[in-house]
């Protein structure tokens, strides 16, 4: 199986690699880049734990091949906090509202929320529910997650 050279930006750093065509973007990020914050909960595109931003859009990195990201811009959960490790407003809202427990689904929710709130700065509660309905959480019953998104949205608004 021939390997393919790719070059992409991962969290703003130019990254070059030679990868087998079947390597998923999720595995590329986790194994080649050491960015293990992107989690694999189902590997068939339903749970959303592996969500990353591809050119700014939230995508499931288990359903994208690394070669498809060639020439593109990828942002993972590790790229969202400040350079000093400070939490982004969305991350802080999750912390303030008990929006995570085991933390396995959390990176996917946070990345999804970042993209959603960027595009919908003034969402209704129903829109918030809809926006994260493609991400599964098994610990929180979604209560803290929904509260966190509401708070993050309200903070942006003011």
Helix, strand, coil in percent for the chain, rounding step 5? 35, 15, 45
Binders of another protein among residues 60 to 99 (CB under 8 A) are 76-78, 80-81, 85, 87, 91, 94-96, 98
Among 8, 100, 115, 152, binds another protein (CB under 8 A): 100
| Burial readout 108-132 (b: 16 or more C-beta within 10 A, e: otherwise) | bbbbbbbbbbeeeeebeeeebeebb
Residue 144 engages another protein in binding (rule: CB under 8 A): yes
Among 7, 42, 71, 154, binds another protein (CB under 8 A): 42
Cα–Cα distance measured from residue 23 to residue 42, given in angstroms and rounded to the nearest whole number: 16
- Binding positions for another protein, rule: CB under 8 A: 20, 22-23, 30, 35-44, 46-47, 49, 76-78, 80-81, 85, 87, 91, 94-96, 98, 100-107, 110, 128-130, 132-146
């Amino acid at each position: 199986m021939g390997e393919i050279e790719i070059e992409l930006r991962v969290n703003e750093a130019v990254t070059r690699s030679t990868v087998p065509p079947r390597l998923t973007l999720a595995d590329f990020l986790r194994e080649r880049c050491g960015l293990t914050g992107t989690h694999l909960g189902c590997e068939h595109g339903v749970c959303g734990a592996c969500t990353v931003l591809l050119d700014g859009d939230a995508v499931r990195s288990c359903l994208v091949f690394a070669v498809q990201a060639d020439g593109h811009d990828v942002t993972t959960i590790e790229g969202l906090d400040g350079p000093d490790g400070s939490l982004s407003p969305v991350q802080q809202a999750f912390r303030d509202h008990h929006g995570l427990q085991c933390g396995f689904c959390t990176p996917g929710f946070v990345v999804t929320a970042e993209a959603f709130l960027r595009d919908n700065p003034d969402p209704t509660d129903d829109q918030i529910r809809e926006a994260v309905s493609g991400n599964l959480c098994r610990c929180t019953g979604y209560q803290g997650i929904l509260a966190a998104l509401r708070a993050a949205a309200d903070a942006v608004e003011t």
